[in-house]
């Protein structure tokens, strides 16, 4: 097995309209390395290319250019997908199967022996809180139950890499905690977890690494602890003239447009006082001053929606 | 093999859950019951009545021959009934597996796209083969019990019907992979079958066509499309006369058509993004 669970080199996907000749570049020149055994979050606005990227890893979508490896093996080889567990977004599990039957079917496709499946399926149904639902047809399951069953399906063959596309979508808070506990248990066993999620707080609290896509390109990537600045102060102000704002930005403070005006993040108390003085001298109004730490949300807004960050 | 068995098993489960499996068997059972209770077949000292037609050794050279004629037409009826019913029943089984959210999960498993599609094809074919065997075998037993004449050649309707369905299923798969439409997956093979019956009348039509190119075009289509009519006719003649009919051309060209269409479907399936 390679040192990296996922490696992509210049991955690109261009969708071409057959008749109009129009091109949509969904993913562009994306090179990414996900170390084995880490918890990795993939973020991006709608249409940023996250799902296309995941589908290229799993060969549901063919890249226009570039290549991908899973644990050092060419992702196009079926064997490369053997150590992968996948929970797709908007999954459609066959509703004619029972929970047990569904796990049995996908377990068999993952290469598990009948004996292994018979032993593990009750264990995994129990793990995701569906012990009493194994014999019920999945058309009777709620969305949250389907999500948990999908997670059991992804875990059944004991994968080394788990790719989860919006894993807590439609799951209630109790179910979310249950999923979180299951995932925490996996990381202790060295399983790499790759999460594609819209829930920034979830990624921030769970993942060690993050990548943010913008317009199909990699905008930011790295360890979350390195990407987020430490403790500091947030100054929110209104009616700040553009010249004053440009001056503030030049001083190294990060700014973000909000409905109230502009939010300015600085690291020291002296910087905060200096910024307040400049704003007031330029005729701006201070709305609030608060001690804060920069969050993944700030980072996301700055990278995925730079037009909203002043 | 494990993967193939899982895919075949899944196709059976889906056919059962969608009531296709039970629908096919219910309609086949209905036909079997008609043979069992409604058809009047009486055999008495040198004479037989079948569908109300009375045959005696005076009108037909032998009772055996009369039974053969009856059997040959029953086999054609089963051939047409079974094949068309099977195409209707199978139309949705390919598009359903291509639904977004289902196909992406299947493709994430360590199996090739070829084995995924062929597994589905094989499962579908086995559902129909089981039904054809049940239908023809039951009718053969009923006719045998009623007439006390056992004609094993009648069972030829089983492999011939399954073969034709296997060829038409290739068209269902191709149309399903391209369009993901169950309705179109029915229309295409049924339409092809009707055209094929028309093209098989080439001996008559060629005399009526005025230009050489139109005659060649007719024969071109006749040779490339599956031989629904010719296969049925060869089966009927074999049952009727117990001698070799023309099998090589209809079987060979139909098999080649099916293989090319299935290869095309696999090629398109390989290249598609989901």
Q: What is the complex's ipTM, to 2 decimals?
A: 0.81
Is the Cβ of A88 closer than 8 Å to some Cβ of chain B?
yes
Which residues in chain A touch residue B102, judged by CB atoms under 8 angstroms apart?
A: 91-94
Which residues in chain B touch residue A55, judged by CB atoms under 8 angstroms apart?
A: 104, 273-274
Min distance B5 CA to chain A CA atoms (Å)? 9
What pLDDT sits at residue A201? 81
Between residues B18 and A136, which one has the greater pLDDT? A136
pLDDT digits (tens, 9 = 90+) for B63-80: 677 777 878 888 888 888
The shortest CB-CB distance from A88 to any of B6, B104, B112 is to B104
B221: pLDDT strictly greater than 80: yes
What pLDDT sits at residue B126? 93
Written as six digits, the tokens of A245 are 């704002």
CA neighbor of A28 nearest in space, from A16, A14, A47, A7: A14
B56: pLDDT strictly greater than 60: no
**A256: CB partners within 8 A, 6+ apart:** A262, A263, A264, A265, A298, A301, A302, A308, A309, A310
A156: pLDDT strictly greater than 80: yes
Is the Cβ of A79 closer than 8 Å to some Cβ of chain B?
yes
B40 falls in which pLDDT band (50, 70, 90)? low
A85: pLDDT strictly greater than 90: yes
B44 falls in which pLDDT band (50, 70, 90)? low
Burial (Cβ within 10 Å: 0-12, 13-18, ≥19) of residue A273? middle
Is the Cβ of A97 closer than 8 Å to some Cβ of chain B?
yes
Q: What percent of chain A has pLDDT over 90?
A: 49
| Mean of all residue pLDDT scores within chain A | 87
Answer whether B107 sits within 8 Å of A62, measured CB to CB.
no
Q: What percent of chain B has pLDDT over 70?
A: 89
What pLDDT sits at residue B37? 79
What pLDDT sits at residue B63? 66
**Mean pLDDT for the stretch of residues A127-146:** 91
Min distance B272 CA to chain A CA atoms (Å)? 7
Between residues B174 and B148, which one has the greater pLDDT? B174
| Mean of all residue pLDDT scores within chain B | 86
Which residues in chain A touch residue B273, judged by CB atoms under 8 angstroms apart?
A: 15, 55, 60-62
Which residues in chain A touch residue B1, judged by CB atoms under 8 angstroms apart?
A: none
Query: What is the Cβ-side half-sphere exposure of residue B243, based on CA atoms within 13 angstroms?
Result: 1
Question: Coil, helix or strand for B163?
Answer: helix
CA neighbor of A226 nearest in space, from A201, A253, A199, A207: A207
**Mean pLDDT for the stretch of residues A268-276:** 89
Answer whether B107 sits within 8 Å of A97, measured CB to CB.
no
pTM exceeds cut of 0.90: no
Min distance B20 CA to chain A CA atoms (Å)? 13
Question: In whole angstroms, what is the distance from residue B185 CA to residue B163 CA?
Answer: 18
**Mean pLDDT for the stretch of residues B142-165:** 88
Mutate to test the interface with B, among A11, A109, A138, A167 (most CBs of B within 10 A): A109
**Mean pLDDT for the stretch of residues A211-237:** 81
**A96: CB partners within 8 A, 6+ apart:** A137, A139, B13, B14, B16, B17, B18
What pLDDT sits at residue B48? 59
Spatial contact of B226 and B254, defined as CB atoms under 8 Å apart? yes
B242: pLDDT strictly greater than 70: no
**A1: CB partners within 8 A, 6+ apart:** A36, A71, A72, A83, A160
Mutate to test the interface with A, among B97, B119, B273 (most CBs of A within 10 A): B273
Q: Nearest chain B residue to A90 by CA: give it.
A: B101
B273 falls in which pLDDT band (50, 70, 90)? very high
A224 falls in which pLDDT band (50, 70, 90)? confident
A233: pLDDT strictly greater than 90: no
CA neighbor of A82 nearest in space, from A121, A105, A111: A111
Min distance A90 CA to chain B CA atoms (Å)? 6
The shortest CB-CB distance from B99 to any of A62, A92, A153 is to A92
Q: Nearest chain B residue to A14 by CA: give it.
A: B273
What pLDDT sits at residue A68? 95
Spatial contact of A263 and A292, defined as CB atoms under 8 Å apart? no
Which residues in chain B touch residue A90, judged by CB atoms under 8 angstroms apart?
A: 100-101
B116: pLDDT strictly greater than 70: yes
What pLDDT sits at residue B47? 56
A102 falls in which pLDDT band (50, 70, 90)? very high
Q: What percent of chain A has pLDDT over 70?
A: 95
Q: Which of A73-87, A291-305, B256-270 has the lowest mean pLDDT?
A: A291-305
Instruction: Specify the pairing of strand A254-258 against strand A261-266.
Output: antiparallel
Which residues in chain B touch residue A81, judged by CB atoms under 8 angstroms apart?
A: 108-110
**Mean pLDDT for the stretch of residues A196-215:** 86
Answer whether A109 sits within 8 Å of B3, measured CB to CB.
yes
């Amino acid at each position: 097995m390679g040192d990296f669970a996922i490696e992509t080199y210049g991955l690109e996907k261009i969708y071409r309209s057959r008749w109009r000749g129009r091109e949509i570049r969904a993913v562009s020149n994306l090179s990414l390395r996900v170390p084995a055994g880490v918890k990795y979050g993939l973020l991006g606005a709608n249409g940023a290319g996250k799902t296309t990227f995941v589908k290229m890893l799993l060969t549901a979508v063919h890249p226009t250019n570039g290549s991908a490896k899973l644990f050092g093996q060419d992702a196009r080889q079926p064997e490369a997908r053997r150590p992968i567990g996948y929970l797709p977004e908007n999954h459609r599990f066959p509703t004619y199967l029972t929970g047990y039957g569904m796990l049995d079917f996908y377990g068999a496709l993952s290469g598990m022996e009948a004996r292994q499946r018979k032993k593990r399926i009750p264990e995994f149904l129990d793990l995701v809180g569906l012990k009493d639902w194994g014999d019920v047809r999945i058309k009777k399951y709620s969305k949250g139950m389907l999500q948990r069953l999908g997670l059991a399906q992804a875990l059944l063959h004991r994968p080394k890499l788990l790719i989860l596309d919006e894993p807590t979508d439609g799951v209630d808070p109790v179910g979310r905690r249950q999923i979180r506990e299951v995932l925490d248990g996996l990381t202790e066993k060295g399983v790499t977890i790759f999460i594609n999620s819209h829930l920034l707080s979830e990624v921030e609290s769970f993942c060690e690494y993050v990548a943010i896509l913008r317009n199909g390109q990699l905008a930011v990537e790295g360890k979350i602890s390195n990407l987020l600045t430490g403790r500091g102060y947030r100054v929110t102000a209104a009616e700040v003239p553009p010249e004053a704002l440009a001056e503030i930005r030049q001083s190294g403070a990060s700014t973000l447009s909000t409905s109230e005006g502009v939010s300015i993040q600085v690291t020291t108390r002296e910087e905060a006082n200096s910024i307040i003085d400049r704003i007031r001298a330029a005729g701006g109004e201070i709305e609030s001053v608060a001690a804060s730490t920069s969050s993944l949300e700030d980072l996301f807004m700055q990278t995925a929606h730079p037009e909203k960050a002043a | 093999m494990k993967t193939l068995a899982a895919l075949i098993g899944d196709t059976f489960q889906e056919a059962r859950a969608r009531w296709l499996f039970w629908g096919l068997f219910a309609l086949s059972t209905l036909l079997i019951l008609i043979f069992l209770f409604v058809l009047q077949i009486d055999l008495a000292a040198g004479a037989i009545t079948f569908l109300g037609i009375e045959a005696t050794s005076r009108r037909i050279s032998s009772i055996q021959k009369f039974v053969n004629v009856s059997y040959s037409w029953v086999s054609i009826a089963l051939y047409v009934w079974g094949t068309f019913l099977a195409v209707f029943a199978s139309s949705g089984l390919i598009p359903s597996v291509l639904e977004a959210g289902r196909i992406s999960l299947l493709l994430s498993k360590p199996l090739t796209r070829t084995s995924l599609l062929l597994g589905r094809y094989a499962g579908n074919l086995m559902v129909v083969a089981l039904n054809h065997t049940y239908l023809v075998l039951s009718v053969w037993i009923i006719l045998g019990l009623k007439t006390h004449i056992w004609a094993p050649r009648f069972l030829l309707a089983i492999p011939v019907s399954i073969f034709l369905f296997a060829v038409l299923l290739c068209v269902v798969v191709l149309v399903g992979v391209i369009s993901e439409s169950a309705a179109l997956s029915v229309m295409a093979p049924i339409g092809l079958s009707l055209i094929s019956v028309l093209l098989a009348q080439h001996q008559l039509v060629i005399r009526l066509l005025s230009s050489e190119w139109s005659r060649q075009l007719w024969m071109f289509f006749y040779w490339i499309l599956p031989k629904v009519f010719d296969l049925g006719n060869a089966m009927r003649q074999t049952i009727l006369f117990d001698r070799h009919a023309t099998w090589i051309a209809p079987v060979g060209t139909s098999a080649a058509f099916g293989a090319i269409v299935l290869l095309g479907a696999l090629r398109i399936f390989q290249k598609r993004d989901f």
